[in-house]
Amino acid sequence: MAERILAIDDNRVNLKVVSASLEKGGYKVGTAQSGPEALKIVNEFHPDLILLDINMPDMDGYEVCRRMRKMPDVAGTPIIMLTANDTLEEKIKGFEAGADDYLTKPFQPAELIARIGVLLRRAARVHQEQPTTNSKFSAVFSLRGGVGVSVMAANLAAGYHQIWGQRVVLVDMVLNMGQSALMLNLPLRNTWADLASIPPDEIDEELVQNVLLKHESGLFVLAAPRTSVEGETVHIDSIRRVLDVLRAKFSYVILDLPHDFSDVTLTGLDYADDVILMMAPELASVRATVGALEVFDTLGYSRNEIHVAMNWIFERKGLARGDIENVMKKKISFMIPYASESIVTSINLGVPPVLEAETSPVGALFEDIAYNISKEEDRENRPDEPTVAWRRVLARQKARQKRK
């Protein structure tokens, strides 16, 4: 069946030209000449993708985009914005409004068709991967080591678990030297390596459950092998299979990713609903982060699902937040202060600060971050039986609002 594209533009000539090339490309095309008209017909037309002009008299494209993102049936539909102005501000505004891609007029029909193809394939993939249990995958990543990826991953995982009381697993994807289990003071009874010799299609829930380590907090961990040689033995197909199995069994899956764009990393990113990109306030880290953001763009990961976390891993002065944001062309979502006491001590003791959120400010911060990027459906309603951690997060929220 032909995929359906809704083109929205106040200019009839533009609409005709675009429709013609899209129909030639084999798509079924619907058109609207204004924002309000588009909003009226979009639910009947059921587009697989939307082309949206920005400059329109009644309602501009940003507003149309924002409204569509609130309509349940359209919220996930890819939107490409079209504009005459190639300014950075416009692009950022578009992404902030919820657009997936951007094209400057005049454009070649071939480029439009190519971009549409990419977004539709991606949407189809996301659709296909729709989990049975609606689990959420959060990947923690940095192209440079030593900026707190593993610290964040462990705290996020423990945080999700204590806030929601749901099943959570921390997956160490750094197969050659991962240390997630160590951070939680868990003996390496089982690791990824135990699954290496099993044919991927024979890996099932029971086998996976058997190699998971259980932390006393109730959090599960899939640990990295003891040696890099063992790490080499884990095949990418096994990794996929294991992640599929985990998706069916856990509400939250946190991936501690390697500091590269290897096959393992890309596989993890394929599964990730959001990425927490860790960085430190120094030049090398900024460079690495800009590089990573570029790769994410090329791979078609929308910038909306990437949260940058600035981690003060040192005490000395660092680069200013505003300067870093300008260079990255992206806002920093979370700031983690230098906290050698609580973080280093906690690593030595194998207790992530988040587990001591009651008394540790850094722990409370990690708890707030975990809450912030929890599933929307979890955040939207008051849990039937709220956990202590949930009450704590909400109390802090209230206190902050009061202060404003």
106: preceding bond cis by omega (within 30 degrees): yes
Half-sphere exposure of 11 (CA within 13 A, CB side): 12
How many other CB atoms sit within 10 Å of the CB of residue 323?
Answer: 11
Q: Residues 255, 101, 138, CA angle at the centre, nearest 5°?
A: 10
> Would you say 61 or 268 has its CB closer to ligand ATP?
268
**Phi and psi, residue 23, nearest 5°:** -65, -35
Residue 142 and residue 288 in contact, taking contact as beta carbons nearer than 8 Å: yes
> Would you say 82 or 149 has its CB closer to Mg ion?
149
> Which residue minimizes CB distance to ligand ATP?
145
Q: Does 145 bind ligand ATP (CB under 6 A)?
A: yes
Site map 197..216 versus ligand ATP, x via CB under 6 A: --------------------
Matching residue, tokens 């300067």: 323
Site map 254..273 versus ligand ATP, x via CB under 6 A: -----x--------------
Site map 126..155 versus Mg ion, x via CB under 5 A: -----------------------xx-----
For helices 35-45 and 61-69, what crossing angle results, to 10°?
30
Residue 312 binds: one of ligand ATP, Mg ion, none (C-beta under 5 to 8 A by kind): ligand ATP
User: Are β-strands 101-104 and 213-214 bridged in parallel, bridged antiparallel, or unpaired?
Assistant: unpaired
Query: Looking at 31, 77, 83, 142, which residue binds ligand ATP (CB under 6 A)?
Result: 142
Q: Which stretch binds ligand ATP (CB under 6 A): 8-16, 141-149, 214-222, 371-379?
A: 141-149
**Shortest distance (Å) from residue 313 CB to ligand ATP:** 4
Q: Does 332 bind ligand ATP (CB under 6 A)?
A: no
Matching residue, tokens 């940095």: 142
Residues 151-180 that bind ligand ATP (CB under 6 A): 151
**Shortest distance (Å) from residue 191 CB to ligand ATP:** 16
For 34-145, strand residue ranges (E) read: 49-53, 79-83, 101-104, 136-141
> What are the residues binding Mg ion (CB under 5 A)?
149-150
